[in-house]
Amino acid sequence: MSEAAINHLQRAIRCKTVSYKDRSLMDFSEFEKFIENIRQDFPLIFANGQIERFVGYSLLIKLPGKSKLPPIGLMGHFDVVPVREENWLEPPFGGVIKDGFVYGRGTLDMKGHVISMLEAVESLLSEEFEFERDVYLMLGHNEETGSIMPDSGASTIRDHLKQQGIYFSMVVDEGGALIDGKSLGIDGTVALIGVGEKGYLDIELTATQSGGHASMPPKISAMAQVCEAAVKLEKNKFPASFNDATNAMFDALNPAMKKPLKFLFSHRSLFKPLLLKVMTEKPDTAAVLRTTCVATMASGSFAPNVLAQKASIVCNVRIIPGESVESVKNRVQSLVGEQIEVKLHNGTEPTDISPSNIREYEIIEETTKEHYPHFKAVAPYLMVAATDSRVYHGMAKGVYRIAPFETEKEDMKTVHADNERIKIEHYIKGIEFFKSLIKKASS
Ligand SMILES: [Zn+2]
């Protein structure tokens, strides 16, 4: 199986399924090629499944189960982000094998995940394994540009399933993480399962003045006004707190922790001020405890000697569960004052937090422990980045994000970057992981 499985991944990588917000830049013949490839490589899925296409290229494949129990949903996307070809050591769409790795854009994000999932399903079908529940494969073709786009494959498929009254037992997508447990007093690798996602918001701050020549400036320019507002927002950080997801995470990690952190974290309410202070020092832990707000873009006048009539700064905001687009707007407006106009773009609320005390979650936890017995702990966590799976919150008992491969930190850095690659050994283990997971989840 493994040789064919590697070849299937190589073939998938060779399709240049690059996503652009400007859809006219997308080469849809490459998406068609990808679909044709998987049709050839996974004949049993395509023979047994009911296949529907949405927005042209997103695929919904339903494999019927024996019972009427709530179905399971396995998500993935086969689009990728663009490459800067000159920085690659191997051709980004070559699917080259070198030193035990397959190289190429999408090997980790996330064709490796998608193909290993398809391998697992195909293999179960070849063993004549009978699904108890319906199994839905939801494969999006434009995840990288966001589920908020009106033609998002994931959102369109979700709307279709919602109309049919489908309610999943569980939905699984990309996005879990493997971390070094050291900073939490744990010796070794910790697997994190994403149980929710922060919200997203772009805030445009604008100051307007009459403009004029820069040789006779007013007391404060429009540009300085918005800069001041942006600085105010970064200095007055949103309050940090433990939310449902972080509480569930620390509860799950606690048994594996060593003293003194074990003691501190098991008395979290008592040591809250201390723990929050320490944890908000670092950007990665701060991000799971508070809403973050950071200035990312600025625009002013068109020439160095001209005052801006309109100066704007865009801040990117990631909203913690418990807060909302509305509450963020109110706080921002009261901080920057009435003279600054606050406009919201691309607002998405934080998701609810999927439970980690139900059988659906336990299946993922159990499977992870079985296949990766050397991991020191498995725990739920809040994702700070967005995935397509957010659209299924409210349509499943649990929506979970998993990392099926034991990817090393160094290799994780190649995601959305140069020389993306997956270790073949990890990829093959991922297929076995998915087989067990799907077997349990679908029965
Ligand atoms: Zn992805």
Distance 387 CA to ligand 1 centre (A): 7
The confidence score (pLDDT) of residue 84 equals 93
CATH number at residue 214: 3.30.70.360
One domain for residues 224 and 162: no
The confidence score (pLDDT) of residue 177 equals 87
Q: In this structure, is residue 82 part of a structural domain?
A: yes
CATH number at residue 410: 3.40.630.10
Prediction pTM value? 0.92
Domain count, the chain: 2
The confidence score (pLDDT) of residue 147 equals 80
Distance 257 CA to ligand 1 centre (A): 31
Give the length of the chain: 443
The three-class DSSP label of residue 193 is: strand
Q: In this structure, is residue 261 part of a structural domain?
A: yes
Q: In this structure, is residue 358 part of a structural domain?
A: no
The residue among 348, 366, 394 that closes a domain is 348
Q: In this structure, is residue 8 part of a structural domain?
A: yes
Q: In this structure, is residue 92 part of a structural domain?
A: yes
The confidence score (pLDDT) of residue 284 equals 87
Distance 438 CA to ligand 1 centre (A): 20
Cα-to-chain-centroid distance, residue 301: 36
One domain for residues 212 and 308: yes
Q: What order do you get walking across the sheet with 97-98 strand by strand?
A: 97-98, 101-103, 421-423
One domain for residues 135 and 219: no
One domain for residues 167 and 220: no
pLDDT digits (tens, 9 = 90+) for 60-76: 999 999 999 999 999 99
The three-class DSSP label of residue 161 is: helix
Dig out the tokens for 102 from the structure. Answer: 């397959």
The confidence score (pLDDT) of residue 1 equals 57
Contacts of 378 (CB under 8 A, 6+ apart): 190, 191, 192, 193, 252, 364, 365, 368, 369
One domain for residues 152 and 218: no
Q: In this structure, is residue 376 part of a structural domain?
A: no
One domain for residues 309 and 274: yes
Distance 104 CA to ligand 1 centre (A): 14
Torsion sign, CA atoms 408, 409, 412, 413:
negative
Distance 173 CA to ligand 1 centre (A): 9
Distance 430 CA to ligand 1 centre (A): 16
Distance 231 CA to ligand 1 centre (A): 32
One domain for residues 163 and 266: no
Dig out the tokens for 96 from the structure. Answer: 């080259």
Distance 144 CA to ligand 1 centre (A): 7
Looking at the DSSP bridge assignments, the partners of residue 203 are 315, 344
Q: How far apart are the first and last CA of the chain?
A: 24
One domain for residues 209 and 154: no
The residue among 348, 363, 395 that closes a domain is 348
12-47 burial, b for 16+ CB within 10 Å, e for fewer?
Answer: bbbbbbbbeeeeeebeeebbebbbebbeebbeebee
One domain for residues 128 and 159: yes
One domain for residues 94 and 25: yes
Distance CA 26, CA 31 (A): 9
Q: In this structure, is residue 379 part of a structural domain?
A: no
Q: In this structure, is residue 393 part of a structural domain?
A: yes
What CA–CA distances, in Å, run from 384 to 25, 54, 182? 29, 28, 21
One domain for residues 47 and 103: yes
The DSSP code for 213 is B
Which residue positions in the chain have pLDDT lower than 50?
none
Structural domain containing residue 213: 198-348
Distance 299 CA to ligand 1 centre (A): 30
Q: What is the largest CA-CA distance in the chain?
A: 81
One domain for residues 208 and 342: yes
The confidence score (pLDDT) of residue 280 equals 94
pLDDT digits (tens, 9 = 90+) for 221-238: 999 999 999 999 999 999
CB 152 within 8 A of CB 142: yes
Distance 143 CA to ligand 1 centre (A): 7
Inter-helix orientation angle 28-41/111-126, to 10°: 30
Distance 354 CA to ligand 1 centre (A): 20
